[in-house]
């Protein structure tokens, strides 16, 4: 580490390095634009949203451009002098996630414009917080440096606390925000504590190096093992809070119910997906570098948490009267499904984790569409009936607003996971990844997930029953075209992605396989540097032959990213 600090005085990023991280820079530029432009052109809601959209479009342009770059065009890690354990990573996984996030952000903005823009007085602040939390989430997925990870998580969390309570005149929103913040602060401090333990032991923030050295420590047992395991577990708790995995989920229903529905839409997908992909990246790294023997217990822990999370989420959703709260519990359940994929990483062969990563990527894309559609309908309905999101408010929706009822049906049935909607396809990819792992633990997860589908049917169908089968003569209403278009596109895309699922699958496959992973030789080099100026006791290092074998296996699967 001291070596790194010594380099800083002589280091400055090259143009290529800047280019690789142009999406982040454009993103930050958007943030500034939205914050400063009102000083010049006034605080108009729609103008602000328009500016944000322009900024996001530019960011998306840069993201796509960087995605097309090869290793020769620029480094995959960077913005620090340490090329192996760079602070940020620009592999295709993170770029793909950024793109999804940007598309989702555009969707949320359109939703916001059609339901809240007219009465919102503080649009610039709202967008600063929204775009800021998005940037934080993008950074979360682009790092395997512990310090950067904490900064990114906080960067994502702080604006999130604020936008949950953004509706200042609403007591529930304030309560939700406070709850969210208290839980968030505690889990952040737990994570920081764990980080300090890990850093204290290994003397580095770079997870690639930590993971390469952690195996022998965990295998050896004794006090060291306890210390490191505790530290890593505390880090895991911090991420599990973002994912709202049980038992770290208590903030989720309250925060989601109290916040404005656009904000709920945003958090229900983006924050969870970011946390999940961060977790998957870390677990993957550990599984690859530390080896399955040291990590075996982790698979069981993650599998149990995943199984409990989806079951608790689904069972809790049963008796909810508020559709928003019900969908909040449903989002907990879906986080559980996706978390199940993380358990696969810890199994030995790389091909399994590849399928799991690909399955989660596809799941995130479709999950974004489902939640954007479902929450979008709730938001549009609320904007017309004075904020009532109870189940009864959906009564007779097919007559009152068919353009809301039909996409809502598509989204809800897709959330259950029944053909002909894409939710089924992505659930299949997940089951496929679990089946491919082909061990008792994963088969048990298959059974748990499949039977959760059945449990979840009932509460989703309660809304469907109200929309299509009952009618208590509430008045019909017109909805803004932009909002109607948004939710219907989401519904339609769910059918399209079911029938033409192949592109989704092949893209997910491609981006999942383009994970940046430092190669064994790079790691060995890094360790050599570290051990000269770092006197920390590292225990036995992994055998060189073993590392080379792992490197070979990665080359075999045609890794064109790293």
Query: Where along the sequence are the contacts to other proteins (CB under 8 A)?
Result: 351, 354-355, 358, 413, 418-420, 424-425, 428-429, 431-432, 434-436, 438, 440, 443-444, 446-447, 450-451, 453-454, 457-458, 461, 465, 468-470, 501-502, 505-506, 509
CB-CB contact of 188 with 238 (8 Å) = yes
State the residue for tokens 């009932």: 458
Handedness of CA 288, 290, 291, 296 (dihedral sign): negative
* Beta carbon of residue 451, minimum distance to other proteins (angstroms, whole number): 6
In the complex with other proteins, which residue's Cβ is closer, 63 or 456? 456
Q: Which residues pair with 390 in a beta bridge?
A: 322
In the complex with other proteins, which residue's Cβ is closer, 160 or 355? 355
Instruction: Tell me if the bond preceding 146 is cis, omega within 30° of 0.
Output: no
Write the burial class of residue 433 (CB in 10 Å: 0-12 exposed, 13-18 middle, 19+ buried). Answer: buried
Per DSSP bridges, beta strands 88-89 and 77-78 are: antiparallel
The backbone region for 473, taken as left when phi is positive above 0, alpha when psi lies in -120 to 50, beta otherwise, is left
In the complex with other proteins, which residue's Cβ is closer, 383 or 501? 501
Q: What is the spatial distance between Cα 91 and Cα 76, in angstroms, rounded to a whole number?
A: 6
* Beta carbon of residue 81, minimum distance to other proteins (angstroms, whole number): 37
* Beta carbon of residue 398, minimum distance to other proteins (angstroms, whole number): 8
* Beta carbon of residue 559, minimum distance to other proteins (angstroms, whole number): 13
Q: What is the spatial distance between Cα 447 and Cα 444, in angstroms, rounded to a whole number?
A: 5
In the complex with other proteins, which residue's Cβ is closer, 434 or 547? 434
In the complex with other proteins, which residue's Cβ is closer, 243 or 344? 344
In the complex with other proteins, which residue's Cβ is closer, 175 or 436? 436
CB-CB contact of 120 with 147 (8 Å) = no
Q: What is the spatial distance between Cα 438 and Cα 432, in angstroms, rounded to a whole number?
A: 10
CB-CB contact of 86 with 80 (8 Å) = yes
In the complex with other proteins, which residue's Cβ is closer, 199 or 428? 428
* Beta carbon of residue 418, minimum distance to other proteins (angstroms, whole number): 5
DSSP summary character for residue 268: I
In the complex with other proteins, which residue's Cβ is closer, 435 or 539? 435
* Beta carbon of residue 448, minimum distance to other proteins (angstroms, whole number): 10
Kindly report the backbone phi and psi dihedral angles of residue 94, in degrees, each rounded to the nearest multiple of 5, phi listed first: -70, -35
Q: What is the spatial distance between Cα 394 and Cα 472, in angstroms, rounded to a whole number?
A: 10
Closest C-alpha among 360, 495, 498 to residue 431:
360
* Beta carbon of residue 506, minimum distance to other proteins (angstroms, whole number): 7
Q: What is the spatial distance between Cα 331 and Cα 310, in angstroms, rounded to a whole number?
A: 9
Show the tokens assigned to 110.
């359109």
* Beta carbon of residue 381, minimum distance to other proteins (angstroms, whole number): 21
State the residue for tokens 């799941």: 363
In the complex with other proteins, which residue's Cβ is closer, 447 or 481? 447
* Beta carbon of residue 32, minimum distance to other proteins (angstroms, whole number): 42
In the complex with other proteins, which residue's Cβ is closer, 465 or 549? 465
Q: How many C-beta neighbours within 10 Å does residue 202 have?
A: 26
* Beta carbon of residue 464, minimum distance to other proteins (angstroms, whole number): 8
* Beta carbon of residue 432, minimum distance to other proteins (angstroms, whole number): 6
Q: What is the spatial distance between Cα 93 and Cα 96, in angstroms, rounded to a whole number?
A: 5
Instruction: Tell me if the bond preceding 420 is cis, omega within 30° of 0.
Output: yes
Q: What is the spatial distance between Cα 427 and Cα 448, in angstroms, rounded to a whole number?
A: 13
In the complex with other proteins, which residue's Cβ is closer, 29 or 419? 419
């Amino acid at each position: 580490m001291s070596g790194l600090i010594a380099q800083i005085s002589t280091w400055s990023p090259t143009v290529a390095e800047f280019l690789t991280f142009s999406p982040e820079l454009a993103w930050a530029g958007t943030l500034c634009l939205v914050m400063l432009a009102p000083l010049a052109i006034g605080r108009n809601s729609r103008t602000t949203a328009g500016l944000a959209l322009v900024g996001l479009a530019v960011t998306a342009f840069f993201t796509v451009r960087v995605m097309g770059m090869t290793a020769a065009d620029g480094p995959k890690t960077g913005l620090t002098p340490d090329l192996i354990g760079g602070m940020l990573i620009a592999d295709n996984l993170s770029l793909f996630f950024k793109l999804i996030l940007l598309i989702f952000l555009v969707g949320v903005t359109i939703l916001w414009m059609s339901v809240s823009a007219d009465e919102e007085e503080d649009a610039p602040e709202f967008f600063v917080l929204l775009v800021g939390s998005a940037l934080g989430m993008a950074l979360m997925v682009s790092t395997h440096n512990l310090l950067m990870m904490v900064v990114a998580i906080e960067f994502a969390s702080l604006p999130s606390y604020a936008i949950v309570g953004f509706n200042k005149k609403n007591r529930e929103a304030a309560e939700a925000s406070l709850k969210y913040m208290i839980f968030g602060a505690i889990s952040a401090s737990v994570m920081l504590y764990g980080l300090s333990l890990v850093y204290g032991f290994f003397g580095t923030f770079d997870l690639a190096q930590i993971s390469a050295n952690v195996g022998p420590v965990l295998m050896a047992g004794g006090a060291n093992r306890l210390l490191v395991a505790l530290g890593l577990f505390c880090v895991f708790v911090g991420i599990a809070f973002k994912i709202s995995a049980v038992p770290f989920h208590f903030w989720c229903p309250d925060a989601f119910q109290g916040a404005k529905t656009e904000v709920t839409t945003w958090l229900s997908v983006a924050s969870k997906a970011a946390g999940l992909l961060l977790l998957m990246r870390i677990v993957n790294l550990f599984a690859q570098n530390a080896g399955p023997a040291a990590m075996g217990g982790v698979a069981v822990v993650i599998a149990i948490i995943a199984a409990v999370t989806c079951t608790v989420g689904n069972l809790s959703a049963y008796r909810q009267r508020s559709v928003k709260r019900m969908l909040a519990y449903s989002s907990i359940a879906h986080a559980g499904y996706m978390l199940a994929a993380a358990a696969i990483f810890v199994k030995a062969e790389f091909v399994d984790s590849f399928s799991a990563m690909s399955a989660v990527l596809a799941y995130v894309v479709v999950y974004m569409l489902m939640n954007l559609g479902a929450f979008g309908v709730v938001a549009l309905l609320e904007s017309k009936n004075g904020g009532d999101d109870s189940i009864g408010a959906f009564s007779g929706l097919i007559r009152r607003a068919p353009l809301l009822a039909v996409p809502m049906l598509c989204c809800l049935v897709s959330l259950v996971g029944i053909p002909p909607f894409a939710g089924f396809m992505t659930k299949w990819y997940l089951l496929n990844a679990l089946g491919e792992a082909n061990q008792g633990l994963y088969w048990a997860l298959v059974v748990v997930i499949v039977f959760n589908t059945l449990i979840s049917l009932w509460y989703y169908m309660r809304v469907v029953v109200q929309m299509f089968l009952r009618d208590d003569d509430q008045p019909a209403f017109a909805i803004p075209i932009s909002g109607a278009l948004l939710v219907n596109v989401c519904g339609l895309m769910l059918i399209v992605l079911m029938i033409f699922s192949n592109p989704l699958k092949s893209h997910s496959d491609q981006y999942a396989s383009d994970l940046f992973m430092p190669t064994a030789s790079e790691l060995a080099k890094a360790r050599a540097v570290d051990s000269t100026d770092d006197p920390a006791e590292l225990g036995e290092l992994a055998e060189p032959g073993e590392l080379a074998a792992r490197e070979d296996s990665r080359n075999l699967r045609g890794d064109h990213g790293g």
